[in-house]
Structure 1
Amino acid sequence: MRRLDLLRRAARKVPKAAYWLLTPWRMPERLQFLRERANREARAQSLKLLLDEERSRQEARRQDGRGDRVAALDLYSADEVIEAAGVPRDRVFWPQSNARLVVDRESAARFLMDTFRQRADLRKRFPEAFSAPGGRGLAEWLSSAEGRHELALTSEGVQHLVALLSEDLAERARQFFLTSDEVRAVLPHGLMPSGRRALFRWFMQHGLEAGNLALEEVWWLFLQAQENPRAELIRAFLFTPDWQRRVPDALTIFGWSRFSDWVANTYGTDRFSPDSVEISGLQEPAQQVRAGYMAQSAWQRAHPDALSDVAAARALLEWLASGAEGSIAPEARTWCAGLDIDALTPGLLHGGVNVIGHFCYPSGLRVSVEAMTEAMERAGIQTSLRDVRTDARDDPRHVRFAGLESADITIIHVQPEPFFARAYARADLAERTPRTYRIAYWYWEFDSIPQSWCAHADQVDEVWTATEFIARGLREQLSVPVRTLFPGVTLAPFQVRDRAYFNLDERRFTFLFTFHMVSVMERKNPLGLIRAFKMAFRGDEAVTLVLKTSFGDRYPVQFQELCDAAADFPTIKIIDQVLSSDEVLSLMNACDAYVSLHRSEGLGLTMAEAMLMGKPVIATAFSGNMDFMNDENSLLVPYERVKVGRPIPPYDADLEWAEPSVEHAARLMRRLYEDQQWAREIGARGKQSAEINLSLDAAGRRIAGRLDEIEELRRRASRE
């Protein structure tokens, strides 16, 4: 049988060999492919060996309780660094820099790191140069006459250095590490002293290229870690779910010593004794007590109503301060004795809300969750925030959303597909046990939902959504309560830019439509808008249509269709670019009117933003936008209700949406262009209406009201 298999494999190679002989002109392409495959296999094998070595070291510690302790990598020792990296020197260090070469952020970073390598006195004077805002005094010194003279800096060089210290050059490198699940599974402590050598090797041999990172970004990350190992221990806990489950009260005075000892024993790193801990660097006092209470069954048995009743909460705090709970460490008893019980009690009873959502994904979902969070904060609701990762194109701010599931209510602001089932994992967050009261916040673009959503709804206690249009479809199929709670809309501060910034002509009346290719181009219907624009205007008139989209490279067929539709009309401009939220609002502000001939919208956020800006808005009179648009505050386009007609993932063919009247839209666009005073009047009415109905303050009050109802229901249930 084995001989027969060998013969079959050999026979399969014959046609391939013959094809290669008959097409010699393709040989360079094939050789390039073989070289790239060999390189990939070599890198994969190298990564496997690196991770296997670290696994073996950790296993040895578990077996004998000791194992080899890894000495911390000294980043200011060139020999140590090159040995740890395992690559040639010129791949680890850049050519020597000097003050005259500081002309941008990257050259400023190289100069500053080179200077600190050479100057032990500066390292001693500014021990948090790379890890603290502004370098903890370094920016001021660089701006002083002393600093400029001592380092021979030009005025331009000082500006670049000070700007550099106001940012976080390491954030992209840190985020790439956080999104590298295979590496983090073995090296959760990679930025701590015991893991730094292995992680540095990984970055130099794999991460730099795979993450499309600059060498300066990686160096800055490791210098941050070297300066503040305790901060890296805390951050590692906050983004390692296994650690959170093992020691849920780690970031409290009650669990810190236990946690620090466990990490030291497991990974061979230094212990951080309670004497070295600044309590303010851990959780807030009320959160510490709540976390300790949830981790200690003895506390719960002694004070079962401590998180729901004022008297019981005070009794718990007095019990801890008195030393009656004998199992807590002396430093914890001392800390408890110094607590202000009156000030702390409300924080025990009202822990706020946990919010898990896409805070770093450039989309309408991010705008929505940010608005909801701000609305709650305006209403006095404390929030604990976690970002749900999507992919490497997310803004590199995941680490800034470090809140634990400390409150008793969790809002999961994540769509049912594709991330809801793994929202906690993608947030690097352990689910609290027993679980919190869970609320799903969902959007949808139709008045009926996919059947698969029902299984996700079984994992929550209720569902919220933004508009009645979505709520009707949810209520038809879900057994849990569905409530309409608009998240609120506000215009974030943005820089006012003229049209020249976006390569637009100041003299032309300009219509705008913004959409995301990921949101399904057929639903957004820019092709219908192009037809309406062509029907309304001649190519030589002083009017422009701007179609702002993003991620066209992910949908090449649809994007080419869009480009082809606009190709014969020079006054249609397509911008396919990921702009910052500031730039998107700036673009909207620079235009004269906003048009959306959508086939269906769950909310219609961009329309709401345009109204808040005072722009006249033309929109399809269908779906979620009708919660805030009417004939008085906007220009509505009639439609026919039709079936989608063919499967357009994630939409089924039998779903129904709108087909807006292109002819009517064309007439409205023409009138706005010809009567610009009327256009301004429409915009002013829309702005006034939006400011009243879409405000964050109103949204915050509505959300607070529902959260109060939930807390009261939970208190009643605990007493029964």
Structure 2
Amino acid sequence: MWRAARKISKAVFWLVTPWRMRERLLFLHERTVRNERVKALAALLDKERLRQESLRRGASGAASPPVLDLFDTVDVLEAAQLPPEQVFWAPVHADAVTNREAAARFLLDALRQREELRDRFPGALSEPGGGGLVPWLQSPEGQQSLGVTPEDAQHLVSLFSEDFAARARQFFLVSEEIRRVLPHGLLPSGQRSLFRWFLQHGLQASDLGLEEVWWLFLQARENPRAELRLAFLFTPHWQQNFPDALTVFGWSRFADWVDKTYGAGSVSQRLAVSSDFLEPALQIRIAYLARTSWRDEHPDALSNTKAALGLLQWLESSEDAQIGPEARAWVAGLNGRALIPDLLKPTVNVIGHFCYPSGLRVSVEAMTEAMASAGVRTCLRDIRTDARDDPQHVRFDGLEAGDITIIHAQPEPFFSEAYARADLVERMPRTYRIAYWYWEFDSIPDAWTAHAAQADEVWTATEFIARGLRERLSVPVKTLFPGVTLAPFQIRDRAYFNLDADRFTFLFTFHMMSVMERKNPLGLVRAFKMAFRADEPVALVLKTSFGDRHPEQFRALSEAVAGFPSITIIDQVLSSDEVLSLMHTCDAYVSLHRSEGLGLTMAEAMLMGKPVIATGFSGNMDFMDEENSLLVSYERVKVGRPIPPYDAELEWAEPSVEHAAQLLRQLYAEPEWAREVGARGKLSAQKKLSLESAGQRIAARLNEISVLRRSAPAPDLP
């Protein structure tokens, strides 16, 4: 009855509003298309599940799908089940190669259509430099063969400056529903189904170009063995079942299983022994960690030279090691004494945001570089956030080969999901686990205590954060600054950023995801307006990103600067190179933050020799003082209202707008004094923030942990 009445009322409404009929019909059509796509996707996945189940049961009718022939138009169309115009593009002529998209399509056409080109450059899309293709493109012979000018050839060469397929691969990696069924999607046995998914669903759900998808599949076709390696490294249940798969000790068993599970031909370049996936010392370390019998027989093999040599001799000579003849021969061919220092080298696993454009990425990169400077080897894994991450997730492919793991991720929202988002299985029994956390207050949320229970100790960057953590946590809390350095960056002029070259320019950079109220750009805008008239040759640049995700706050910021043309907002994701380049173009850096865990951008500006004005409160006070920077006075106040993730009762600073305005004016009015402030800040920052000293402190603590773990249970560590 109720449904019938609703349908009648809807029909009546449609009759009295005929001018909206076109809009309604379009909506109904789009809904129908969406529903059909959902059904098609479900059917595709169900078909693949049934095929794999038949293989597991050993059913007589179970068969591998025919390998997708990317050079056969009929086969490609059959796989895609789409009309040709949605699978192929119109031919690209040489004179149209004027941008990356056209260049990619032109080159892919040449490879698909010319077998002799593929034979000459079999690693064109999968090897560095195109396996010789790049120099050929730069040569008169190559240009004449393709009918392109030297200028056109440069567009083709530019495709190889980075992995052109990276965005398409990353989209596959973040599509968890697909990967659950098609972890082998880029192997020969899975390409047909994955190709259909990309063309029917993936392109509509992403901003990928068709040429990026084609590049990915042709790249995978060139080197299926490399694709199997990547599939293993980013499929946790494979890692769990075959922890030593990429070693000479476990490869054959794993390869056999893949063929039986996903279909014959999944491992198309079969090798009885795989000795080149990982360096020898890492292969032995991973196999040792995977085998209880090895550890029982040689318990000190990864910490003692004599025991390590004993392990190698045992592997070579004893049947108790239970390894195949190929693996035994491989061990016999090693120079054991030369290998042992590498086998015993301190190794730490680091799981962090290596691809998320944020201060967390800068921090984890600095920490990793600092440890390298101190001789600590690291196995790195990236924690995925969303599809907007830099498409470099597969570059961070380290397994949990060390006995200590640093999880460099905030307690919320990703700490408890760090392994899953890193596509990494947790080693069992688990490693000694260190949480590296930032916070902006001197007290922490109650929920953090539960997250701390997953760690053996917590590290943080500054004493400001450490004090709050120690008050609430029962595990050890250590202050270990990650170090700060300026990565090499391109020098650009202000015109690149559409900024006026003739104005004294102040800069503030912040991330909208880091809570705008805490970063306090509105207070800075008020101070700037108080310090300067609109017609003075001075400017303020507010560099932010992800304003679209925080429309209310971004609207407030836009309204605050309206009518003041000397204030510029840059709301876009710039590369780290561009961010440093922007900082280099400006005359001074300003932060009227209410609280900071560290204050990374202030540290970077000081290292660059820029005078820095900043609130004299919180984490930045670990490296800033009255001698090396200009500190703004403040009052401690309560937050006052809940601003997730901050409670109303927390306290932060309210910087003095008047004092900030005075300092802004003074820097502008006294440029020589400003340069002196910047020079003092640079000298101070170089001493306090160096990666080398940070690396030595981190290495010392890691050594303490290792020594104490060998003599006492981990919970008893101080």
> Which interval holds the TM-score relative to the shorter structure?
over 0.9
**Structure 1 residue 309: Cα displacement:** 2.5
> How many percent identity over aligned positions?
69
Q: Which residue of 2 aligns with 1:466?
A: 461
2:701 to 701, 706, 719: 706
- 2:29 aligned with 1:40: no
Contact (CA 8 Å) 1:323, 1:333: kept in 2 or not? Answer: no
Q: Which residue of 2 aligns with 1:579?
A: 574
1:505 to 500, 507, 519: 500
- Distance in 1 (CA, whole Å) between partners of 2:69 and 2:56 is 26
- Distance in 2 (CA, whole Å) between partners of 1:560 and 1:225 is 45
- Structure 2 counterpart of 1:36, one-letter code: E
Q: Alignment partner of 1:269: what SS? A: coil
Q: Which residue of 2 aligns with 1:302?
A: 297
Q: Which moved more, 1:162-171 or 1:360-369?
A: 162-171
Contact (CA 8 Å) 2:294, 2:321: kept in 1 or not? Answer: no
**Structure 1 residue 274: Cα displacement:** 6.5
* CA deviation vs aligned residue, 1:383-423 (integer Å, no higher than 9, x gap): 10000000111000001111111111100000000011111
Contact (CA 8 Å) 1:614, 1:687: kept in 2 or not? Answer: yes
* CA deviation vs aligned residue, 1:361-387 (integer Å, no higher than 9, x gap): 000000000010111111111110000
Residues 136-147 of structure 1 mapped to structure 2, 5 A cutoff? 136-147=131-142
Q: Alignment partner of 1:325: what SS? A: helix
Q: Structure 1 regions of 5+ residues with no counterpart?
A: 1-6
2:86 to 91, 106, 120: 91
Q: Which residue of 1 aligns with 2:278?
A: 283
Q: Which moved more, 1:390-399 or 1:116-125?
A: 116-125
Q: Which residue of 2 aligns with 1:599?
A: 594
- Distance in 1 (CA, whole Å) between partners of 2:111 and 2:134 is 14
- 2:125 aligned with 1:134: no
Q: Alignment partner of 1:209: what SS? A: coil
Q: Which moved more, 1:190-199 or 1:109-118?
A: 109-118
Q: Which residue of 2 aligns with 1:225?
A: 220
Q: Aligned residue pairs: how many?
A: 713
Q: Which residue of 1 aligns with 2:353?
A: 358
Q: Which residue of 1 aligns with 2:104?
A: 109
Q: Which residue of 2 aligns with 1:169?
A: 164
2:150 to 150, 155, 158: 155
Q: Which residue of 1 aligns with 2:644?
A: 649
Q: Alignment partner of 2:199: what SS? A: helix
Q: Alignment partner of 1:671: what SS? A: helix
RMSD: 1.5
**Structure 1 residue 344: Cα displacement:** 2.1
* CA deviation vs aligned residue, 1:604-657 (integer Å, no higher than 9, x gap): 000000001100000000000000000000000010000000000110100000
Q: Alignment partner of 1:80: what SS? A: helix
Q: Which moved more, 1:571-580 or 1:679-688?
A: 571-580
Q: Alignment partner of 1:487: what SS? A: coil
Q: Which residue of 2 aligns with 1:424?
A: 419
Q: Alignment partner of 1:712: what SS? A: helix
* CA deviation vs aligned residue, 1:265-324 (integer Å, no higher than 9, x gap): 0000324676465522x1111111111112222212222222233222211111001243
**Structure 1 residue 65: Cα displacement:** 5.8
Q: Alignment partner of 1:279: what SS? A: coil
- Structure 1 counterpart of 2:386, one-letter code: D
- Distance in 2 (CA, whole Å) between partners of 1:661 and 1:392 is 40
- Distance in 1 (CA, whole Å) between partners of 2:650 and 2:59 is 61
Relative distance call for 1:177 and 1:99 in structure 2 (3 A) is same
Q: Alignment partner of 2:593: what SS? A: coil
Q: Which residue of 1 aligns with 2:541?
A: 546
**Structure 1 residue 514: Cα displacement:** 0.6
Contact (CA 8 Å) 2:404, 2:431: kept in 1 or not? Answer: yes
Residues 176-187 of structure 1 mapped to structure 2, 5 A cutoff? 176-187=171-182
Contact (CA 8 Å) 1:133, 1:166: kept in 2 or not? Answer: no
**Structure 1 residue 74: Cα displacement:** 1.1
- Distance in 1 (CA, whole Å) between partners of 2:336 and 2:321 is 20
Q: Alignment partner of 2:400: what SS? A: coil
Contact (CA 8 Å) 1:598, 1:619: kept in 2 or not? Answer: yes
* CA deviation vs aligned residue, 1:335-367 (integer Å, no higher than 9, x gap): 010112112223333351100000000000000
Contact (CA 8 Å) 1:358, 1:365: kept in 2 or not? Answer: yes
Q: Alignment partner of 2:204: what SS? A: helix
**Structure 1 residue 134: Cα displacement:** 1.2
1:12 to 6, 15, 22: 6
- Distance in 1 (CA, whole Å) between partners of 2:17 and 2:674 is 64
- TM-score when scaled to structure 1? 0.97
- Distance in 1 (CA, whole Å) between partners of 2:477 and 2:698 is 13
- Distance in 2 (CA, whole Å) between partners of 1:286 and 1:666 is 59
- Distance in 1 (CA, whole Å) between partners of 2:687 and 2:198 is 51
Relative distance call for 1:509 and 1:179 in structure 2 (3 A) is same
Q: Which residue of 2 aligns with 1:566?
A: 561
**Structure 1 residue 212: Cα displacement:** 1.4
Q: Which residue of 1 aligns with 2:332?
A: 337
- Distance in 2 (CA, whole Å) between partners of 1:507 and 1:301 is 71
Q: Which residue of 1 aligns with 2:117?
A: 122
Residues 482-501 of structure 1 mapped to structure 2, 5 A cutoff? 482-501=477-496
Residues 437-456 of structure 1 mapped to structure 2, 5 A cutoff? 437-456=432-451
- 2:696 aligned with 1:696: no
Q: Structure 2 regions of 5+ residues with no counterpart?
A: none
Q: Alignment partner of 1:123: what SS? A: helix
Contact (CA 8 Å) 1:65, 1:265: kept in 2 or not? Answer: no
Q: Alignment partner of 2:349: what SS? A: strand
- 2:92 aligned with 1:64: no
Q: Which moved more, 1:145-154 or 1:484-493?
A: 145-154
Contact (CA 8 Å) 2:224, 2:268: kept in 1 or not? Answer: no
Relative distance call for 1:419 and 1:699 in structure 2 (3 A) is same
- Distance in 2 (CA, whole Å) between partners of 1:555 and 1:589 is 28
- Structure 1 counterpart of 2:275, one-letter code: I
Q: Alignment partner of 1:511: what SS? A: strand
- Distance in 1 (CA, whole Å) between partners of 2:676 and 2:26 is 63
**Structure 1 residue 104: Cα displacement:** 2.0
- Structure 2 counterpart of 1:85, one-letter code: A
1:239 to 220, 234, 240: 234
Q: Which moved more, 1:683-692 or 1:115-124?
A: 115-124
- Structure 2 counterpart of 1:246, one-letter code: N
Contact (CA 8 Å) 1:512, 1:593: kept in 2 or not? Answer: yes
- 2:258 aligned with 1:263: yes
- Distance in 2 (CA, whole Å) between partners of 1:151 and 1:596 is 54
- 2:641 aligned with 1:634: no
Contact (CA 8 Å) 2:224, 2:269: kept in 1 or not? Answer: no
Contact (CA 8 Å) 2:95, 2:148: kept in 1 or not? Answer: yes
**Structure 1 residue 486: Cα displacement:** 0.3
- Distance in 2 (CA, whole Å) between partners of 1:242 and 1:351 is 27
Residues 650-669 of structure 1 mapped to structure 2, 5 A cutoff? 650-669=645-664
* CA deviation vs aligned residue, 1:663-719 (integer Å, no higher than 9, x gap): 000000000010010000000000000011001111111101101101111122389
Q: Alignment partner of 2:380: what SS? A: strand
- Structure 2 counterpart of 1:279, one-letter code: S
**Structure 1 residue 58: Cα displacement:** 0.3
Q: Which moved more, 1:355-364 or 1:70-79?
A: 70-79
- Distance in 1 (CA, whole Å) between partners of 2:370 and 2:699 is 9
Q: Which residue of 1 aligns with 2:669?
A: 674
- Distance in 2 (CA, whole Å) between partners of 1:39 and 1:164 is 35
Contact (CA 8 Å) 2:252, 2:272: kept in 1 or not? Answer: no
Contact (CA 8 Å) 2:372, 2:378: kept in 1 or not? Answer: yes
Q: Alignment partner of 1:483: what SS? A: strand
Contact (CA 8 Å) 1:70, 1:269: kept in 2 or not? Answer: no
- Distance in 2 (CA, whole Å) between partners of 1:148 and 1:12 is 68
